[in-house]
Amino acid sequence: MAGETTVEERSIEVTPTWAVATVCLMLISVSVLIEHLLHLLAKYFNKKKKSSLIQTLHKIKSDLMMLGFMSLILTVSEKRISNICIPKSMAETFLPCGTMDSDDYSEEELKCLEQGKVSLLSRKGVNQLQYLIFVLAFFHSLSCVLTFSLGMAKMRSWESWEAETRTLEYQFTNDPRRFRFTHQTSFGKRHLRFWSEHSRLLRWPACFLRQFYASVSRTDYLTLRRGFITAHFAKESHFNFQRYINRALEKDFGMVAGMSWWIWIISVLFIFFNAQGFYNYLWLPFIPLVMLLVVGTKLEGIITQMCLDSHGKSQVVIGPLLVRPSDHYFWFNWPKLLLHVIHLVLLQNSFQLAFFAWTWYKFGLRSCFHEKTEDIIIKIVLGVVVHMLCGYVTLPLYALVTQMGSSMKNAVFPESVAHGLKRWRGRARKNLRTNDYYSARPSSVDDASVSLDASLSLDASPSFSLHPSYSVDREGDPPSDLKDTKFVAVEIDDGQVGKQHQKI
């Protein structure tokens, strides 16, 4: 129209070289600074001998590299994507705002309109999608770090409980010659109530409410610690249970912080359900909260059930009350399933917060994505509540109760001991292959390989096992020549190997 001026964007061919060089210098400087900070963080973890956290850091780096490739692919193919034309009837379905009105069309969109069709995704939409992908990944990693940091801070109070187990007062209170009724023990007083012994319908509501108040008590920690050590170590072992839990949780953090393929599938489904017709603000934000409360209730129920099982076997105990770890307390006999559920909760909750922040930044607070005030309140309040509840309540409860499975985790070995045993095992196997003396005596070779392979394997159980089902998690079946091997016990005291026993 007359009187209107058309403003075209300048290309790089008419842009001063100093301006291009300045922007490039800024990008390089920021990238080098971030890389240097990550390098310093890796050196700090290496100094503290936190190999699991170093692996997590490498996983986050690989995720960032994958995001860079995704952004590159979108940038290169944005013209081809916008040239894909679809019928208008299809374009009018599953709209997030319920309307397609727009006055700003690109060249590719105009070509589709001339054919009576609509572009699959405009160039502007591709650019906005790149921002959304980066925001989703950033919020997921940030929420995992904050949640696990909150959980580790809560678990620091357990250090005083662990130190208490080395005092004379604790040894006197848990005298192995002392007879008591199960109801008289502190663990029995906490869990053997009317609602737990006589009514299953009342037990689960009580466990649901207990997670909000003293979800992990001193009595629960000391009893579960005693049951774990009795099942896997010598009776007089000075194993540091609290440090073991921290190491195991650090390994689990590496699994949760990464962006797996199924995470991207869920993110695609999350974007799909943001269509206006689904009314997702009425049900989608509540799914993480419900799942988290179910997990917390299950964990509290496991502690109560272990107390009931011990009480059912004998109402009189000699010494402290013991609980027996077993996988059958968990869903599908799989303790790690709870970690996958927590991972899914953190993922969905962080994606909701990320999508809210992205739409607020791009389209404003009162855009078509958040037309209703209750939508804004529900997403913000539930997002914060779920992260606080997961980090301060559910995560410490998970870290303690999942040690009550039939198997120990590889984190039972401190970092220095693990590396030492792996090197020792490698040297021993090399000596066995090259030693003519052992090759001339098959029976001696078998005995030596049995003792060395069982005692030095990082995956083998260093346990004084009370039952054949107790073992360390193995990533595969043992060699055929070790299937008839007796167990080997390794006594671990505060990060050092105290003594080793071989029993053939």
Residue 29: predicted pLDDT = 92
Residue ranges of domains in the chain: 22-39+49-91+105-121, 143-411, 413-502
Residue 477: predicted pLDDT = 43
What value does the mean pLDDT of the chain take?
A: 77
DSSP string, 347-392: HHHHHHHHHHHHHHHHH-TTSGGG-SHHHHHHHHHHHHHHHHHIII
Asked if the model's pLDDT at residue 427 lies above 80, the reply is yes
Token reading at 367: 């855009």
Under the banding of pLDDT at 50, 70 and 90, the label for residue 468 is very low
| C-alpha to C-alpha distance for 107 and 437, rounded to whole angstroms | 81
Residue 290: predicted pLDDT = 92
Give, as one character, the DSSP assignment of residue 165: T
| C-alpha to C-alpha distance for 476 and 483, rounded to whole angstroms | 13
Asked if the model's pLDDT at residue 235 lies above 80, the reply is no
Max mean pLDDT among 91-100, 374-383, 424-433, 455-464 falls in 374-383
- Nearest 5°: phi and psi at 471? -160, 170
Under the banding of pLDDT at 50, 70 and 90, the label for residue 98 is low
Residue 37: predicted pLDDT = 87
Q: What are residue 497's DSSP bridge partners? A: 492
Q: Taking residues 408-433, what's their average pLDDT?
A: 76
Asked if the model's pLDDT at residue 498 lies above 90, the reply is no
What percent of the chain stands above pLDDT 70? 81
C-alpha closest to that of 241 among 124, 111, 404, 112? 404
Nearest-10 crossing angle of helices 241-257, 123-155? 180
Q: Taking residues 303-325, what's their average pLDDT?
A: 84
Residue 100: predicted pLDDT = 62
What secondary structure, in 3-state letters, does 208-223 show?
HHHCCCCCCCHHHHHH
Q: Taking residues 183-210, what's their average pLDDT?
A: 82
- Whether the pTM exceeds 0.85: the reply is no
Under the banding of pLDDT at 50, 70 and 90, the label for residue 295 is very high
Residue 353: predicted pLDDT = 87
437-466: pLDDT as tens digits: 545 555 444 444 444 343 333 333 333 334
Q: Taking residues 297-314, what's their average pLDDT?
A: 88
